[in-house]
Amino acid sequence: MEYSAGNVDIAVVGAGHAGCEAALAAARLGMKTLLFSMNLDSIANMPCNPNIGGTGKGHLVREIDALGGEMAKCADKTLIQSKTLNSAKGPAVYSLRAQVDRRWYQAEMKNTLECQDNLFIKQAEVVEIITGDSCRVTGVKTHTGAVYSCKAVILTTGTYLKGKIHVGDISYSGGPDGLFPADRLSDSLREKGIELLRFKTGTPARLNGRSIDLSKLTEQPGDEVIVPFSFENHVIEREQISCWLTYTNSTTHEIIRSNLHRSPLYGGMIEGIGPRYCPSVEDKIVRFADKEHHQVFVEPMGLGTQEVYLQGMSSSLPEDVQTEMIRSLPGLENAHIMRSGYAIEYDCIDPIQLKLSLESKKIPGLFSAGQINGSSGYEEAAAQGLIAGINAVNMIRGREPLILDRSQAYIGVLIDDLVTKGTSEPYRIMTSRSEYRLLLRQDNADLRLTPKGYEAGLISEERYKRFLDKKDKIEEEIERLRNTYLPPSEEVNALLTSLGSTNIRSGISIAELLRRPEITYRALEAVDVDRPGHLRRDDRRKYDPVAEQVEISVKYEGYIKRQMIQVEQYRKMERKHIPENIDYSAIHGLRLEARQKLAKQRPVSVGQASRISGVSPADISVLLIYLSSRPECADD
Amino acid sequence: MMFNGKGSFGDFDTIAAISTPYGTGGVGIVRISGPGAFGTAARIFKGRRDIKEIKSHTVSHGKIVDPADDRIIDDVLLTKMDGPHTFTGEDVIEINCHGGIVVLKNVLSLVLRQGVRAAGPGEFTRRAFINGRMDLAQAEAVIDLINAKTDEGSRAAAAQLEGRLSERIASARKSLIQLIARIEAVVEYPEHDIEDITGDIVYEGVLKIRDELQEISEGFERGRLLREGITAAIIGKPNAGKSSLLNVLAGSSRAIVTDIPGTTRDIIEEYINIKGIPVRFLDTAGIRQTQDPVESIGVERARGAALSADLVIIVLDGQTGLLPEDLDIIRETAEKKRIVLINKTDVADEERVQTMKKRLRESGDPPVVVTSMVEGTGVDELAETIERLFVSGDIGLNNEVIITNVRHKQLIDEAISSLEEAEAAHTGGLPLDFATIDIKQSAEFLGQITGESVTEEVVNEIFSQFCIGK
């Protein structure tokens, strides 16, 4: 029986990392928002690794925060270990990563949702999307027949759609982490003409940490100083716990090799496409047969549990093989497996059917974010969720969507890659996917994006004021460094010598001196007598975001300028808009493949068109020639 | 089939032109390309089989007949080629004619009378490019080929056409991508036990690729010579035999040769193929003090021409010995590539010629060639000297890659300077990430020659080479 259960503005289907951000953004922007989850105890769950951040991903978390999202704040509250990766490899690739207490994180996020005005949470499975005139979304229906009318729907279904679990030759219908799958929504989407893909991902076993002999493993402690994810937090003082490292060996590899025929991947039972960056251990051993050892990290799942996660041992081999191979690792001889590793197959939307706003091209009012869009990872999901939430609101209010381009944010790179190029495997962000990564640093995410978050309405006046104040301080200090000259005094030269630098013979600006690789901003403090008090060393606050920003901006100015020139080039093509009503079949000289791809995807700009696979530079020349002959297609 | 006329590419019309084959073939070709190529051929070609029965990519013998009056125009070999496996990617007919340029023109005009449009310059190539039959580097090489002025020029263009430049650029680019992937693998997966890449390893790799690119870039100077030719100004005092030299070289009476000093009052130009290098000879007015206003303008022009030319050929009269004005010219051209000819040795005193040689050695020691324009001696030696001066002797024309396109040269040079920036980043002690930016930029420049983007390739390379991921 169907019944009318009421009206909301926005319905969000799924309360994982994408759903939480989407629902919070929508509600905070004043929309009556209803968030569905099949099981409220799985809100903001981390069914795979218990950590947030990492290369590229840490950048996303900072961008989410700069725009007014929640993930960074929640991670800061619940992290139990923090690291800055790549600290020696240059500021563009510094990446924050934290081990997080999984249950604590969930509880914090659930409570944040519950405390949010305009936001309502409902345990239910959404089984149908209801559409009205010209395919526009009008509501959703749950498994109990409740029909909610709404103006926009955001799908954030993760790996639940027709989820299928594989453990060796056993397979059954199921969602992640022992939860139920969502079997009916896929059909509803397909009926509406949405093309679905079938992807696969997997997770390793969880062990009882007490069954591991840690003396045989290498300790991996956190960093001394915890750098917070959120720009709103400055100091986090918390006791950290360690991860542990062990290695596979020839015995492990032999066990895997002799059981490959029992793997659903190699046995042909799995049709879904898995991610290359998250290979199962059997995959690694087959593809890199000459490698003698593979690393395995033991990561704690939280403070209030003994359960640990085995990073590097993702597997869908049968349970008995998993036990045998895990017990072949040094220190894990007596390991007790609490949950087996598994592979999961699921339906997702082919993301080329989406606009850059994450709205469906076919069904107005239908947005989607996260794994359903072919991505992978909590951070990728949260980033899309935030954008989908903001843009659902913009759509309802008749405002322009928030679209970040590739030169503004990793979020822009992520969404443009998915929507423009599509993906043939679950997509993970990486710093090398960005063309301008020296500009898209994690340290300047607020400078890049907080004004956008403010404009969108997710940054409070108070926070925005603090942001402007920080920005002013940075600019003032850079200006001061450019105009303050140090004399070739004995004191200055003695300092330079002690830093392994060459002496100066005439006055030199501090900015100039700072460009020397061996000189840091902190090191010059003693001779920089005019340095403002708030930028002087303070042992209580070991990390200063203003000083960091000043140092990077001055030190790498030349490179930063060069990337900005490249950005200008890129933007020229992005500004060449393609009219919505363009008829590709009328353009002489486009190759058939390009014509079909362009007609199907309907890119908004020549820049976007040039990134569609199957569209060659020659096609772009033809397109440019065609557009230049149409006066209405001038640049804007 | 996709391209055979009424398919989805039927939006191009049919074009035709006379295209001469590479090199100096005696046979000319009328090429027809487009959806109407086969239909046109069917109307004018009478062979053993009808056009539609002829297999693709085969040659048939037959006659070209004007359907209006059944007049036979030529005895020809006709090649039928189905698109898309053709030069332009469209249906193509090539008619090999025997009867020289007049017959070629008659065949072409017959083709055009069948409703085919005359192709513009480079239009076949443009279609080939648009239809994805060649990359940008190849397309540009064809344009060079069309414009090439001598045989060596065409051969360099042909080699480029075959993709040798593309090949070498692609290989240098591949090395860059592999280098980037090595760095990125470590950066993206900092905690994986991939062999850490040090700045020194990157530096070494960068130097090697830079040298490779440098070598390709140096081929450009030679490519430019082949493409644009060099300019050689022939100067000397009046009646030393400058115009005769030009006539001997050109094998015709291009310049007006008289024995009245000052006959050549303006500059006369001639393109002559010297050892495969197109040389644009400028025959100038004799340089002397003159009262004649017209002649004095000529003299000024001669000096101007000498100063802007790539090569100066100074012609001396062997009969008169070295005169002060000869020494003036030799002094003025000290900075230029030059050759001194001692001419008129058929009538000159042997001892005087030797004295001239000795004094020339003392005044700057330019290369000297002894000639007689009347007997035609010394001309081969002159040609060899020109070749030696410009191609430094050791560059064989057979196996190397020669860039003849300015755009390519610029992009390769940009790629080189990006790599130099990467070296500077390393030696300046900047973190690896900065060198990566430069190396990526370099690969991006090379990609602009062949039209590819870096990011996706780097990602693919990372996963194919390194075992990483949780």
Which residues of chain B are within 8 Å of residue A616 when distances are taken between CB atoms? Answer: 132, 451
How far apart are the C-alpha atoms of B294 and B306, rounded to whole Å? 19
Q: What is the pLDDT of residues A13-51, one digit of tens each?
A: 999 999 999 999 999 999 999 999 999 999 999 999 999
Chain B touched by A433 (CB under 8 Å): yes
Domain boundary among A307, A328, A344: A344
A398 within domain boundaries:
no
B244 and B207 part of one domain: no
In this predicted structure, the answer to whether residue B390 has a pLDDT above a threshold of 50 is yes
Residue B451 and residue B408 in contact, taking contact as beta carbons nearer than 8 Å: no
Q: How many CB atoms lie within 10 A of CB B131?
A: 23
Q: B296 lies in which domain range? A: 228-391
Q: At what angle do helices B199-228 and B151-161 cross, to 10 degrees?
A: 140
- Would A549 be classed as within a structural domain? yes
Residues of B within an 8 Å Cβ radius of A: 2, 8-9, 11-12, 129-132, 136, 180, 184, 186-193, 428-434, 436-437, 440-441, 451, 453, 455-456, 458-459, 462-463, 467-470
Residue-wise pLDDT tens digits, A123-157: 999 999 999 988 999 999 999 999 999 999 999 99
Of A317, A344, A371, which residue constitutes the final position of a domain?
A: A344
Highest mean pLDDT among A350-364, A621-635, B364-378: A350-364
| Residue A524 domain flag | yes
Hey, what are B160's tokens?
Answer: 């480029």
Domain of B406: which CATH number? 1.20.120.430
Do B243 and B371 lie in one domain? The reply is yes
With contacts defined as CB-CB under 8 Å, which chain A residues touch B468? 277
Same domain, A335 and A214: yes
Regarding whether B372 and B234 lie in a shared domain, the answer is yes
- The whole-angstrom distance between A247's CA and the closest CA on chain B is 10
The CATH number that applies at residue A282 is 2.40.30.260
User: Are residues B248 and B386 both part of a single domain?
Assistant: yes
Shortest Cα–Cα distance, B436 to chain A (Å):
10
- Between CA A231 and CA A446 the distance in angstroms is 7
- Contacts of residue A616, defined as CB under 8 A and 6 or more positions apart, other chains included, come to A591, A594, B132, B451
* Beta strands A307-311; A295-300: pairing state: antiparallel
DSSP summary character for residue A473: H
- B275 and B177 within one domain: no
Average pLDDT value for residue range B245-255? 66
A580, A525: one domain? no
| Number of domains within chain A | 3
**Nearest CA distance, B423 vs chain A (angstrom):** 14
Q: How far apart (Å, rounded) are the C-alpha atoms in residues A76 and A95? A: 15
* A312 in the same domain as A238: yes
Of A314, A595, A617, the CB nearest to B451: A617
Of A89, A95, A312, the CB nearest to B431: A89
Residues B233 and B195 in one domain: no
Enumerate residues 504 to 533 of chain A having a beta carbon within 8 A of any beta carbon in chain B: 517-518
The boundaries of the domain holding residue A628 are: 576-633
d(CA A585, CA A592): 9
Please give the pLDDT value at position B258.
47
pLDDT band of residue A69 (cuts 50, 70, 90) is: very high
Instruction: Closest CB to A277: pick one of B430, B436, B463.
Output: B463
Task: Give domain status of residue A389, yes or no.
Answer: no
Residue A278's nearest CA partner among A329, A319, A312 is: A312
Q: Give A350 or B377, the one with higher predicted confidence.
A: A350
- CB-based contact B451 A430, cutoff 8 Å: no
Same domain as A504, residue A614: no
pLDDT (0 to 100) of residue B287? 60
The answer to whether the beta carbons of residues B333 and B309 sit under 8 Å apart is no
| Residue A261 within a domain | yes
Q: How many domains, in total, are found in chain B?
A: 3
Given an 8 Å threshold on Cβ–Cβ distance, is A559 in contact with B432? no
Q: Are residues A224 and A310 in the same domain?
A: yes
> What is the C-alpha separation between A592 and B132, in angstroms, rounded?
11
Enumerate the residues of chain B whose CB falls inside 8 A of the CB of residue A89.
Answer: 186-187, 190, 431-433
CA dihedral A267, A272, A275, A281 (to 10 degrees): -20
- Least CA distance to A585: which residue of chain B? B8
Residue A513, in any domain of the structure:
yes
Task: Say if the Cβ atoms of A89 and B437 lie within 8 Å.
Answer: no
% of chain A exceeding 70 in pLDDT = 97
Contact (CB<8Å) B184/A432: yes
Which of A90, A278, A517 minimises the CB distance to B469? A278
Question: Same domain, yes or no, for A597 and A555?
Answer: no
Q: Which helix (H) or strand (E) holds A343?
A: strand A342-349
Assess if residue A592 is contained within a domain: yes
Instruction: Please check whether residues B214 and B340 belong to one and the same domain.
Output: no
Q: Are residues A546 and A590 in the same domain?
A: no
Range with the largest mean pLDDT of A449-463, B198-212, B274-288, B297-311:
A449-463
> What CATH number does the domain containing A619 carry?
1.10.150.570
Pair B362, B261 in one domain: yes
What are the pLDDT digits (tens) for A284-316?
888 888 889 999 999 999 999 999 999 999 988
SS3 sequence of chain B: CCCCCCCCCCCCCCEEEEECCCCCCCCEEEEEECCCHHHHHHHHEEECCCHHHCCCCEEEEEEEEECCCCEEEEEEEEEEECCCCCCCCCCEEEEEECCHHHHHHHHHHHHHHCCCEECCCCHHHHHHHHCCCCCHHHHHHHHHHHHCCCHHHHHHHHHHHCCHHHHHHHHHHHHHHHHHHHHHHHHHCCCCCCCCCCHHHHHHHHHHHHHHHHHHHHHHHHHHHHHHCEEEEEECCCCCCHHHHHHHHHCCCCCCCCCCCCCCCCCEEEEEEECCEEEEEEECCCCCCCCCHHHHHHHHHHHHHHHHCCEEEEEEECCCCCCHHHHHHHHHCCCCEEEEEEECCCCCCHHHHHHHHHHHHHCCCCCEEECECCCCECHHHHHHHHHHHHHCCCCCCCCCCCCCCHHHHHHHHHHHHHHHHHHHHHHCCCCHHHHHHHHHHHHHHHHHHHCCCHHHHHHHHHHHHCCCCC
Residues A599 and A525 in one domain: no
CB contact under 8 A, A92 and B433: yes
Query: Does residue B198 sit in the same domain as residue B297?
Result: no
End-to-end CA distance of chain A: 53
Domain-terminating residue out of A316, A344, A372? A344
CATH number of the domain residue B80 falls in: 3.30.1360.120
- In terms of Cβ atoms closer than 10 Å to its own Cβ (0-12, 13-18, 19+), residue A170 is middle
pLDDT for A158 equals: 97
Q: Sorting pLDDT into bands at 50, 70 and 90, what band is B308?
A: confident
